[in-house]
Structure formats: structure tokens, C-alpha cells
Amino acid sequence: MILQALNEYYQKLMDDPESGVAPPGYSPVKITHAVVLNNEGELIDILPLSVQQGKKSIPQKMMVPEQVKRTSGVSANILCDNVSYVLGIDRNKNGEPELATEKFADFRRKNEIFLNGIPSQGAQVILKFLQRWVPTLSHTIIGRSLDALLNGNNIVFKIDGMLGYVHEDAKVKEKWDESDDNHTDKTIGQCLILGEKLPIARIHPAIKGVVGAQTSGASIVSFNADAFTSYGKSQSFNAPVSIKAAFAYGTALNYLIASDTNRVRLADTTMVFWADKKGGKAEETVLAWCLDPVVAETGEENEKRRIDPAAARHAKAVLDRVKSGLPVGDAGFDPDTRCYLLGLAPNAARLSVRFWQVSSFGDVLEKIARHYTDMDIAGIERLGGTVSPWRTLKALAVLEDAKNIPPLLGGQLLKTILSGQMYPQPIYNAAIIRCRTGGEHGGVNTIRAAVIKAFLTRKYRIQKQPEREAMITVSLNENNTNNAYLLGRLFSLLEKAQKDALGSNINATIRDRYFGAASATPGSVFPLLLRLSRHHLSKSEYGNLSERKIQEVMNGLDAFPAHLNMEEQGLFILGYYHQNQANYTKNENNEQKEG
């Protein structure tokens, strides 16, 4: 289904001239220079083709005859390659220029075979060039731009006084398209994407741009160890995909990953999504923003905006409407458009599929809105209201370092957000553990509390326990009589009493010392904390007020249980967080009254 859908998407891209995807037999390649030849096949100039954009020079993209997948060894391409093949100049390990005669020889051999007999001036001139060129470092023209050539990318050919490049010549193209169809020695079999009997691809295209995979690209269909093969078949004959279909799905997938609006990255997972109709750009952009909302106002991240501000505002408006349960009601967004979602993650040189979902944009957006609603908690507005899945994951990692995000978690979280299922237990556990371990950036923070809240809300909803679901609120719920929740609130009040008494510059507050123990084994800690609080209350200015609040909460408690299970620990943290937030807002109100 996955490859089939990608194959269909490729057919749509082909119909859209703006998409810039390669037709079969060609690949888009970055070109930095053109070698200019005169009619005798002599090198007369080297033309830089990069365009200056600000500080960077951007190479041009051109459709050239499809390039081979180079893993090791020497293998030249037709009419376009890097400098080591085209001119036989390379850099050695120390970065100094050297000759690469072997590569040039291969380039000469292959191109001579291909160009022979093409009745076009360009082809004939290149044949002359290939015969007379001897790789050298001392050529004056090369000397002028040696550094740029060696740092550059691919090179194409141009004939002095003729328009266009040689690989674009009509006669050359004709020959190339023909040679591509000559599958005389190919294995024929039933293609598992198209179902027809066609020549089968031996090697599948490399997919580039998946985070964490090799930069030269990784394969989604590969058989790079003996154990993956069966029935006596080698390489991709284990999975018969026709050359045609393999090219199509590879091109479509590479296009999606390179796109700004069809791709979202989260930890080790790269997700692409696409619409099942032509011109689904608006829907795709909305989805891309919703999964990676960047608040336009805060300039904290100076990275390049993937989605332009106007589109982001549009997306936010759409999301807000869905969040409040209204129909999208927007001409630019058709909720019934079918939508494919594919999550990929690297695993050595291979890509693995983390999830695959076929749905409609309206449905997916509803699920995303549900996620953000579940994550709503007092204080989250200070983070912009919608916390992107990326930040959520980071908050759950050790030291809040993206490197420490456990593998699999990214894919699992995305999958839950998009499918509306129960959040995976590891995410909840991670949130609780991070809350308990504390540290400078640790402890209970808004995102972690939001994750706990979202997990519990969704769990109760899916398990159909509406009265428990109702107990989990956005901000402090004084009517919640759950023991664990009350204990969390009590802990927050005791901490406040300590702060009121001793000021906020205490080396180790009771939170630093006892939070972990209090949330897991309250029975062993709370009596001690209450004893301590007597001293704090008597010392503090507003002791009476604090004492009354502590009494209120204590009245609701039945006992200090010996230990709390994972679910209760979550409620404890939630109670603590809510009470903290409430303390904070009350303080603000007081200040306003005073002022």
C-alpha cells in the first residue's frame, strides 16, 4: 500500500510542471559549473553556474540522465558528473589536488559508447573532447578555477556558440530514452506495485534526507544481509518491483522529504504526508504547521521559518476552529481530502516504517486538535498555548537534551497524536520520572504536567470513566477528593510555607529533598514534613493563612498511604502542579491589589 500510494503520487507530480520531479530516466542534480568546449573539442572556458543568494552560493538544479548509485569503486555517469570524472582531477586525503586518471578513463569509456552515432553537433564535439583530453593540473583555464571546481558539485557540458547544454540536446535525449528501454538482459517478473509483468529492479533508489540515516541516502527496500533473503533469491528479486515503479516511488518519496510542507521531523522519526488529490498544498501546509507550531511572536529560535507567516496564521486559525469544535469552514481547506501519513526512521543503512496511516485531513486535524486540548493546562499559555510534539519530547528527555530522547518514543508520540489512541505508557513514565528527579531544569514543569494530564484524561476517556475524566481539569480543582491529588496539593502548600518562612534562597527545599519520596511513599515522608511545617508556619508572616489552607486539604485526606502506584503518582504531580499554579496566580492578584 505504501509504495503503491507513493507511485500514484508520482503520477500526480508528473502532471504538475511546477513540482520539478524528474521524469523516468532522469535525476535532478546540483550543478555548479559548465565546461565550455569549442567546435574542435578544446576546453575554452569554465563557467560557474551557482547563483549568489546572500552569503551562500546556490548551485543550479538540472535534470540530467539518471545517475548511478555509487557506493564504492569507480562508476561514471553520462554527460554530467563531478570534476574527478569529467576532467580527471581530484583531491587527495590531505586536500591537495591530484589526478584521477582511472575515473576519467571510465567516464570516457562510458560516454564514448553512449555518444557514438548520435547525429548532433554537441555529441560529436564531446567525442572529440574525450579523445583529446588528458587529465592535467597545469591547464591555464583549470588553474584559474581549480579551487572552485574541487569544492563544487557536478559539471555539465556546453558548446561555444550554442544554446543550452549538451545533455539537453534533443537527439541526445532521444538516444538516452531509448537506451533506458533496452532491458534485454533484465529479469521479468510480476511487479508487486503495478501487478503487471515487467523488468524487475535489482537495486532500489536511495532515499535521502531522513534524519540519522546516511547522508548518501538509505533504502526503504534493501536486502543488505543474508538473513533478509529467502527462496534462493538475491537482492531485490526478493521483492519484485519493476524498474518503472521503483523509480516512481523513490522519486516521490525523495520529493516529499525534501519538501517544506510535506515533512515533519520528530526525534529519530521523519514523517511525510501527502494529499490524494492535485493541489492539496493548502491542506498539507496546515497539517505541517499543526504538527510543528512555531509561535510567530517569540523570536527565540532564529532558524529559517519553514512555513511563511501568512500560511502559519491561516493554519492557526483553522486549528483554533477545530479545537473549539467548529467546522473548518474555510475555502482553502477541504477536510474530506484523503491524506496519507508515513513515518520513517533510520536503522543502519535501512529505513524502517514506524507508522502508516490513511485518513482524511479533517479527521487528522481533529485528532491533532484533540491532542492539544488534552495537553491544555494552567500555565501553558506562557509557552504559546500549543506546545509542539518536538518540545514535548525534549521536556521528557534526560537533561532536556534532544540527544537523550529514547528511540521509538518520537514515532509513538506522533502515531498517538494522529490516531487519537491512548498515549504510550513510556511517555507517561518518562514524564513522572523527570518530575521526580528534579535538578536545575528538572522537577515539575508545565510540559511534563501537561503530558501527565493528557495521558490520564485520554486514558479515562478511552476506558469510559467519565467521572474520573471530569476530575482532571485544566487548573486547580478544589473539589477533587482523590487522595493522591490532595497529597500533591498538600506538598505544594508545605513547600510554600517553607518558602514563606525562610525566603526563596534556600539551598535545599523540601521539594529537592522529599519530592520523590513523597510522591511514591507518602506514608513515610508526610508525618515528617508536617512536623517541619509547624516551625515554618510559626516563623512566617502569613502563617495563619497557610495553616488554614493546609487544614482544608488535610480534612479531605483519609490517610497517608504507604505507597502510590504510577497512576496515583501522576495525580500527585498534577495536584502539586495545580496548587503551585494557584499559589502563583493568587500572589499576582495580591500584588495587583497592593499596587
Partner 1 sequence: MGYGVKLRVWGDYACFTRPEMKAERVSYDVMTPSAARGILEAIHWKPALVWRIDRIHVMKPIRFDSIRRNEVAGKISERNIKTAMNGGTVDLHQYAAAQNERQQRAALVLRDVEYIIEAHFELTEKAGESDNPGKHCDIFSRRAREGQCHMRPYFGCREFPVNFELVEGEIPKSALKGEIDLGWMLWDIDFANDMQPIFFRPTMRDGVVDTRLSRGRGV
Residue (134 or 227) nearer to partner 1, CB: 227
Least gap, CB of 242 to partner 1 (angstroms): 11
Collapse the DSSP code of 329 into the 3-class scheme (helix H, G, I; strand E, B; otherwise coil) and give the result: coil
| C-alpha distance from residue 249 to each of 4, 220, 254, 477 (Å) | 8, 10, 8, 53
Least gap, CB of 219 to partner 1 (angstroms): 9
Letter for the amino acid at 437? T
Classify residue 158 by burial, with Cβ atoms within 10 Å: 0-12, 13-18, 19+: buried
Alpha carbons 262 and 565: distance in angstroms, whole number: 41
Alpha carbons 558 and 296: distance in angstroms, whole number: 48
Residue (207 or 497) nearer to partner 1, CB: 207
Least gap, CB of 346 to partner 1 (angstroms): 10
Collapse the DSSP code of 389 into the 3-class scheme (helix H, G, I; strand E, B; otherwise coil) and give the result: helix
Least gap, CB of 197 to partner 1 (angstroms): 10
| C-alpha distance from residue 28 to each of 62, 70, 154, 245, 480 (Å) | 5, 16, 11, 18, 61
Alpha carbons 91 and 76: distance in angstroms, whole number: 17
Residue (351 or 427) nearer to partner 1, CB: 351
Residues 6+ apart with CB under 8 A from 157: 34, 35, 37, 79, 80, 122, 126, 129, 165, 166, 167
DSSP state at residue 479: T
Least gap, CB of 397 to partner 1 (angstroms): 19
Contact 332, 268 (CB under 8 A): no
Q: Which of 212, 218, 253 is nearest to 340 (CA)?
A: 253
Residue (415 or 448) nearer to partner 1, CB: 415
Least gap, CB of 415 to partner 1 (angstroms): 8
Least gap, CB of 290 to partner 1 (angstroms): 22
| C-alpha distance from residue 583 to each of 54, 252, 272, 530, 587 (Å) | 50, 54, 43, 19, 6
Least gap, CB of 231 to partner 1 (angstroms): 4
> Could you tell me which residues are beta bridge partners of residue 98?
90
Kindly report the CA angle at 504 between 498 and 506, in degrees rounded to 5?
Answer: 75
Residue (239 or 486) nearer to partner 1, CB: 239
The residue with cell 534524519 is 211
Residue ranges in contact with partner 1 by CB under 8 A: 1-4, 189-190, 192-195, 220-228, 230-233, 238-241, 345, 347-348, 350-356, 408, 411-412, 415
Least gap, CB of 288 to partner 1 (angstroms): 23
Residue (372 or 428) nearer to partner 1, CB: 428
Alpha carbons 374 and 455: distance in angstroms, whole number: 8
Least gap, CB of 325 to partner 1 (angstroms): 26
Alpha carbons 180 and 67: distance in angstroms, whole number: 12
Residue (222 or 446) nearer to partner 1, CB: 222
Residue (195 or 466) nearer to partner 1, CB: 195
Residue (10 or 576) nearer to partner 1, CB: 10
Rg (CA), the chain: 32
Residue (216 or 224) nearer to partner 1, CB: 224
Cell of residue 435, nine digits: 518530575
Contact 471, 480 (CB under 8 A): yes
Least gap, CB of 203 to partner 1 (angstroms): 13
Least gap, CB of 181 to partner 1 (angstroms): 24
Cell of residue 522, nine digits: 507518602
Max CA pair span of the chain: 102
Letter for the amino acid at 452? I
Residue (345 or 369) nearer to partner 1, CB: 345
Number of CB atoms found within 10 A of residue 143's CB: 12
Contact 342, 411 (CB under 8 A): no
Residue (2 or 14) nearer to partner 1, CB: 2
Least gap, CB of 4 to partner 1 (angstroms): 5
Residue (226 or 591) nearer to partner 1, CB: 226
